[in-house]
Structure 1
Amino acid sequence: MKVLALAASSSSTSINKQLATYAASLVENAEVEVLDLNDFDMPIFSEDKEKELGQPEPAQRFYKKLGEADAIIISYAEHNGSYTAAFKNVFDWTSRIDMKVYQGKPVIMLATSPGPGGASSVLAAATGSAPYFAADVKGSLSIPSFYDNFDMEQGKLTNAELQDKLATVVALL
């Protein structure tokens, strides 16, 4: 199984990228590819830019990557209760290629933050809208207080209860 893992963040030190990568490592016998949103940089989406540029190559590559995967694990960073501008822009451009951005793929949606909310607002928005974009959401999980529950050196969850929940969600792929 080819699993595509990504963080809905452009931060070079993204805790959501660490979480998505770790979650993907829990899928047995999977070939994992981790995407970096910085590899899909484009101008801010607008109809005027779309008329000028058409469908930018980075959006086409992103769409193709999603299509080549057997499953997708995405972890959402939350900026002011919503998506990061970087993710929203890539998503907006890609949705103009095909509204079925996720192409019917099984998807696990995660989110984390340093605080106790665990980016649950953006996770709720993402899981709520996912069916409109052809995501077969198999499960979702918010990890609160990331630095209290994740060992940065070992790259894994340290909270046994959260580890069990994550393993259960990932097993749904």
Structure 2
Amino acid sequence: MKIIAFGASTSSTSINKALATYAAGLVDDAQVTVLDINNYSVPMFSEDKEKEIGQAPGAQAFLQDLAEADALVISFAEHNGHHPAAYKNLFDWATRVEREVFQGKPAVYLATSPGPGGAQNVLAAATASAGYFGGNVKASVSVPSFYDNFDVEAGVVTNAEIAQQIHQAVQLLGN
């Protein structure tokens, strides 16, 4: 099984990218590719810009990379209760190329934040809208207080209950 994992964040030290990488690595015999959304440059979306340039090459490349996966593990960063602007912009461009961005692939949606909310708002929004964009969400898990529950150096969840929830979630990717 080929899994594409990414954090919907542009931070070079993204806790969501770390969480997605950890979770995807729990799937036995999977080939994991971790994407960095910084590699998909797109201008700020507008209909005028779309008329000017057509389909953004960065969005086309993002969709092509997702197409190569058998399953997806995405961890959503939250900025003021919403998707980060850079991810939302890439997503908007991608929907103009292919509305079903997630292409029906089985997915686990995650979210985390340094605080106790665990990015639950953005996770709820992403999960609720997934079906409109070809999302096939098998499970979702919010991880609160990231630095209290994740060992950054070791790259592992340290909270046994959360680790079990994530492990159970990613096992559903093969179903």
Band of TM-score, shorter chain: over 0.9
1-side partners of 2:155 and 2:91: how far apart?
Answer: 28
2-side partners of 1:12 and 1:41: how far apart?
Answer: 15
- 1:7 is aligned to 2:18: no
Q: Which residue does the alignment assign to 2:132? A: 132
Contact 2:2 / 2:69 at 8 angstroms: preserved in 1? yes
2-side partners of 1:22 and 1:86: how far apart?
Answer: 23
* Corresponding letter in the other structure for 1:95: T
Equivalent residues, number: 173
Q: Which residue does the alignment assign to 2:116? A: 116
Identity %: 61
SS in 1 for 2:172: coil
Q: C-alpha deviations, 1:6-47, integer Å up to 9, x for none?
A: 011000010000000000100110000000010012111000
Q: Calculate the TM-score normalised by the size of structure 2.
A: 0.98
Q: C-alpha deviations, 1:66-124, integer Å up to 9, x for none?
A: 11100000000000000001100110000000111111100110000000000000000
Report runs of 4+ in structure 1 exceeding 4 Å deviation: none
2-side partners of 1:164 and 1:101: how far apart?
Answer: 29
Q: Which residue does the alignment assign to 1:97? A: 97
Q: Which residue does the alignment assign to 2:148? A: 148
SS in 2 for 1:58: helix
2-side partners of 1:123 and 1:141: how far apart?
Answer: 8
SS in 1 for 2:95: helix
1-side partners of 2:115 and 2:63: how far apart?
Answer: 32
Q: Calculate the TM-score normalised by the size of structure 1.
A: 0.99
Q: Which residue does the alignment assign to 1:49? A: 49
* Corresponding letter in the other structure for 1:125: A
Q: CA RMSD of the aligned region, Å?
A: 0.5
Contact 2:42 / 2:57 at 8 angstroms: preserved in 1? no
* Corresponding letter in the other structure for 2:111: A
